[in-house]
Every structure is written in C-alpha cells, then in structure tokens.
Amino acid sequence: MTFEELRRQALIEWEEYRNNQKIRVTIGAATCGRASGALTVAEAIRQKIAELKIDALVTEVGCIGTCYAEPVVSIAKPGFPEIYYGGLTPDKAISLIEDFLIKNNPRPDIALGSLGDQVVPGIPALFDIPMLKPQVRIILRNCGFIDPENINHYIANGGYSGFNRALKMKPEEVIEEVKRSGLRGRGGAGFPTYLKWELCRKETAQEKYIICNADEGDPGAFMNRSLLEGDPHSVLEGMLIGAYAIGAKKGFIYCRAEKPLAIERLKVALKAAKEKGLIGNNILGSGFNLEIELREGAGAFVCGEETALIASIEGKRGMPTPRPPFPAQAGLWGKPTNINNVETWANVAAILQRGSEWFAQYGSEKSKGTKTFALAGKIKRTGLIEVPFGISLRQIIYEIGGGILNDKKFKAVQTGGPSGGCIPEKHLDEPVDYESLAKLGSIVGSGGMVVMDEDTCMVDVARFFMSFIQSESCGKCVPCRMGTKQMLDILNRITGGNGIPQDIDLLLSLSEGIKAGSLCGLGQTAPNPVITTLRYFRDEYEAHINLKRCPAHLCKDLINYVILPEKCQGCGICLRNCPVSAITGGKRLVHVIDQAKCIKCGTCEDVCPPRFKAVTKISGEKIELPEKPIPVTASSSQKNTADNSEK
C-alpha cells in the first residue's frame, strides 16, 4: 500500500471521528491523569452516558500538559465548541454530563477552555489560558488531542509524511535538512544531531543500529514518558527517518520498566506500524528495511548514559565505557550506532514534515526550536510545557507556572535533573538555552525544572541530589564512586550540625576532582548541585557550619519545636497527638516540649489550631521558654504587658 492510500484511509476515519454528529468525550488518561483519578472519572462518565442512553464516543488520550488541573476531560457536542474541563471527580463528572448533555449548560465554572470557532460566554479559548498561551507546541502538538493507540489519528494529522518525504531524498540530503534546522540533541548534552548522523553515515560497516533512549531517570522529569503516552508514533517516525539517513536496518527503544503505560502504548504503536507496512521489509515499496525492538530497562540512572545503555541492551551490567571510540564508530555489538532520546526523534519527524526553515524560526541563535520541561515543585501550575529556546526563567515560572505556591517567595529553580544546578532569583531573566544555563553553572539536561520557595534549605537540596547521584553511581570509576560518597558524608555532617569551616573548601576541591576525573558525563556533572548552591547560597552553608543554624528551619538536627507561652491556650491538642509523649501540660496551662524526647516529626505544629499558631520551629534563635507548665493566664498577662509597652 502506498503512503497516499494510507493517508486517504486515515483522513476518512479522522473526519468521521471529528465531524460526525455523535457526542465525543476525551479523557486525559496518561500517568498524571491516572494518578489524579482519571480512570475512576472515566468509568463514572461511561456509566452515566449508558444510564442516560446517550449516543457518545468516549476516548482515552494523552496529557495536554495541564497536570495541575488533572483529571482533564473534553466534551464535543453539536452546536458547541469542544470544551475542556479540569479537576473533575466522579461526582463532578456525573453532574457535568447531566448539565451539559441534557440541559445544554456547558458549566463555565469548571471549564478550562474551548477549541473551535464558536464562543461560549465565560469560557476562554483553550490556548489563551495563561499556562498554554506562551507555549509553542511542536513536540506536544498531538498530545491530548489524538488517540495515541490509533495510528490513523496520527497519519491524518501529518504523521509519517516526513518519513515519506525522506524516502524520496538521498540519505545525505536528509542529514543536510536536519543540519539546516539547527536541531541539537534533547537528551542533555545538546550535541548537534546532524553531526552524530553524519559520523555514523560515513562508517562503512554493513550492519548499523539506531537506538531511542527512553530511560529518563531524573527525579521530577516526565517529558519523555508523557510524549510516549500521548504520541508514540512521532518517535517511531523520527527513528525511521534517522535509520534511513544513516543506513541502519535495526532499531531499539530502551525504556525503563517503571513506565508501564508508555511501554504499553509503544507496543500498540509498533504493532500498528508493522501492520501498515511502515516497519519491516521494503517499507512503502522503497526497498528500505527496518525492524524496531522494545527493550525494558530495570531503572538504573546510569543507563541514561549512552554507552551504559548500549551495555544494558547487550545484556551486560549497565556501566559506561571510555570514548573514543564513540558509539557512531563502534557501539552496539561493536557496530556503528546512533543514539538519540525520545524528544530528539520526535523533533526529527516534525522537521521532515514541516521543513528545516519552519523549525529554525523558533528558538535562539545557537539553540533552535523548542524544549519540553517538566515544571514541578513549589509552583501553582505544575505540568508539562513546551517553550521556544530563549524564553526567560521568569516567564516560565510566573507566566506559565503562575508563580510560587501559596504566594511564597521564590528562592531557586533547579534545571537539568540531579546533574543540573540551582539558579537564584537574580538570574531569572536569563534566557533558557544551552549556553546561558551553562554560564550559570547549570544545564538544560533532559528538561527537569524543579521550583523551590523560601522554605527550602539549599544545603539540604544539595544533600538530596548528591544522595541520589551517589546511590545511582555505577561505581566503575573511583572519582565518582568515592568522590560523591565523600561529598555526601560532608553534606550529611553539615546538615547534622557537625560541619566545620574547612568543609566548604573541601567540597569545592572534591567537585573539581570529580568533574575532571569521572569517566562519563553523569559523573562529570554530578557536583553541579553542590557547586551552584555554594556559588549562590554560600551564606546558608556558613550558617549551618558556624552558627549551627538552618535558616529555612528544615534540617532536623538543627531545629527545635517549641510552644510559645504568649500564644498557647492550654487546649491540649498537641499533647494528645504527640506520638512520643514529649509534651507536658494541662488544661489552661502553657504546654512544654521535652527536647530530649522530641523526635521532630512536626505533628504538634500541624495540629495546633491556626488561630493560635502557638507551636513554631526555631534554629539558633534564643527564646525564653518556661521549664515547666505555667498557667495560661500568666502568660496572657505577660503578653498584654508587652503589647502595652510597645504601644
């Protein structure tokens, strides 16, 4: 079957899906939606539709990126635009079905936005809502809008047309098109994509391989997973184009088993592409052959590094190998191999579909196109976003993300995963691209972006990421294996109240040694969280070391929970809830916490009525507290005296 015939069939099915008079309901059922109860909402919707005998089509789709508003449901009804709703529960969903489908009330109060030319009062256009308006969706163009398990939906929306175009070009012309686009690898290093392909193309071996790196092990990162769950065929199309360009006949997708839904969607996509003749022998009558195999990883962070990933596919322990030779020269089973990550392959598909000039219009001079980021942490609108390179961190955090949760003060943003750096407020107006973030001591990485507020201890943040890196070190090279362990020991000592002034210089010295001596990129960037927190938040390290004080009141060994005598009303709530009976007191007596017994769990602060706020954390502050319970009236009179004296 020719591609034109495939596309004609797909368009007929798509038109029937989009333009018939049947009511359509889509449910965002990616991992983020499911974690928020999307499947329960979907079941409630199906049952209600069946009960009301409504002729409707219910489809599960990927995530549109508004994870803060999950579960997200859209309803398309004749006479109305397609309307998206957020934050649904089963009860809200049932009410929505009754109100909208029976009573023609589109419920603007719970609507996110609408798609289509028609306007509903009180409901903005979907792509005019604050989180989506500044974005440019190239990678995410289909996510949340097509059925990821229906290949015809992808083909009808331009899918595989880039591959069909590539088959009519010489392999060298395909590589040149990618070169003109300015695409750089989205896996972290930002290496020019065309150059990898060119090096592999020039190798004369009869057998070559391509690999899709879908490992994505960074804490707080979910870009690749979401793309695979919402639009897996875009990745397969990119791999087909890359394999044709370099001359590979076998491809592998390496995806960690911790992403079961992504793996399920990939399996469905691979089967459908095979049935359509888009994978296999003599694809589309071109004489080009390619088989793609899915391999599941066990979840080792180091297998995100390409030589360790290759070792894992070969059945060996995932450990990096020295370079040269590079994988393009001698990779999988010693053969020339090209590795790109999920987002890079999806970009390739878009570039061949729309052209290199179209792609290169977005981004900055040296960083073309867009980048997806997983926006997480202390931010109001968490989610998956796609923005052109060159946008500022401030725009991402405040325009797209809506600012800091609970309107607290921004402190730092960590980009690039555990090997990235922490960037302070004074650099929020810097552009987001490979060169700018590198100057700040961070990296773009695969796209993790964790926002921190004023309550964050930056020393503890460095300790957390170093703990992750140290536990995930493969142990092959001494600088990474031993150096990260020494750094973690020092950070534990500092946050435990036992730091000494020499620790700061020792951390910096170890950082330089690890960067210079580690075998792979993961080890070489491992010290970044420590280096950047020392660079921008050195005063917090000094407070921990010299004053034995945690300014954020977070490090347990440096804080104490106390009950303020002027605020305690002797209600006994904290006493009754303390899990270790560390609180003494009685009715109408100011309660006292025995610091020797206190395990610093914070329960007393959590349960103290907000109108009192009598329990607080202190770290190094000197506060006069009663040694034993005293009458509340006495403390109240003391407070009144103090208030009068101030007046």
Alpha carbon distance 490, 472 (integer Å):
18
Instruction: Say which DSSP state 548 is in.
Output: -
Identify the residue whose tokens are 């005019």: 128
Helix (H, G, I), strand (E, B) or coil at 376: strand
Tokens 């897996």 correspond to 232
Beta strands in 420-565 (DSSP E): 421-424, 448-453, 560-563
CA contacts within 13 A on the Cβ side of 518: 28
Which residues have CB under 8 Å from 413's CB, separation 6+? 377, 393, 397, 422, 423, 428, 449, 450, 451, 452
Tell me the residue length of the chain: 647
Closest-CA residue to 497 (of 455, 552, 559, 562): 559
Residue 93: helix, strand or coil by DSSP? helix
Q: Which range, of 27-31, 143-147, 321-325, 409-413, averages the lowest pLDDT?
A: 321-325
Q: What is the pLDDT of residues 28-80, one digit of tens each?
A: 999 999 999 999 999 999 999 999 999 999 999 999 999 999 999 999 999 99
CA Rg value for the chain: 28
Q: Tell me the sheet residues that pair with 590.
A: 630
- pLDDT bracket for residue 633 (50, 70, 90): low
- Please check the confidence at residue 635 and state whether its pLDDT lies above 90: no
Q: How many CA atoms lie within 13 A of 148 on its CB side?
A: 33
Instruction: Write the DSSP symbol of residue 258.
Output: T
pLDDT at 4: 96
**What is the number of other CB atoms lying within 10 angstroms of the CB of residue 357?**
11
3-state secondary structure of 327: coil
pLDDT tens-digit readout, 262-303: 999 999 999 999 999 999 999 999 999 999 999 999 988 899
Question: Is 1.50.40.10 the CATH number for 160-360?
Answer: no
Alpha-carbon distance 75 to 67, whole Å? 18
Residue 359 vs residues 372, 387, 388, 437, 472: alpha-carbon distances, Å: 15, 13, 10, 22, 36
Cα–Cα distance for residue pair 438/416, rounded to 1 Å: 10
The full set of domain ranges for the chain reads 13-127, 160-360, 370-453, 458-546, 559-646
Other Cβ atoms less than 10 A from the Cβ of 477: the count is 19
pLDDT at 641: 37
Distance (Å, rounded) from C-alpha 159 to C-alpha 142? 10
Q: How far is CA 62 from CA 74, 146, 226, in A?
A: 12, 8, 7
Q: Are 308 and 473 in contact (CB under 8 A)?
A: no
Assess contact for 189 and 345: CB atoms under 8 A: no
Do residues 386 and 223 touch, judged by C-beta distance below 8 A? no
Nearest to 442 by CA among 425, 406, 417, 466: 417
The pLDDT value given to residue 455: 94
Confidence at residue 638, expressed as pLDDT on a 0 to 100 scale: 45
**pLDDT, average across residues 358-368:** 95
Q: What confidence tens digit (pLDDT) does each residue in 574-617 have?
A: 999 999 999 999 988 999 999 999 999 999 999 999 999 999 99
Question: 3-class secondary structure for 95-146?
Answer: HHHHHHHHCCCCCHHHEEEEECCCCECCECEHHHCCCCCCCCCCCCCCCCCC
User: Which of the four CATH numbers 1.20.59.20, 2.30.110.10, 3.30.530.20, 1.20.1440.230 does domain 458-546 have?
Assistant: 1.20.1440.230
Tell me if the domain spanning 13-127 has CATH number 3.40.30.10: yes
Query: 641: how many CB neighbours lie within 10 A of its CB?
Result: 10
Residue 156: φ, ψ to 5°: -65, -25
Regarding the domain delimited by 370-453, which CATH topology (the fold level of the hierarchy) does it fall under?
A: Ubiquitin-like (UB roll) (3.10.20)
Structure tokens at 41: 């909402």
Per-residue model confidence as pLDDT tens digits over 168-226: 999 999 999 999 999 999 987 789 999 999 999 999 999 999 999 999 888 878 999 99
Q: Report the distance separating Cα 264 and Cα 40, nearest Å.
A: 20
Predicted pLDDT at 215:
92
Distance, in Å, from the CA atom of 3 to the CA atom of 13, rounded to the nearest integer, reads 15
CATH topology of domain 559-646: Alpha-Beta Plaits (3.30.70)
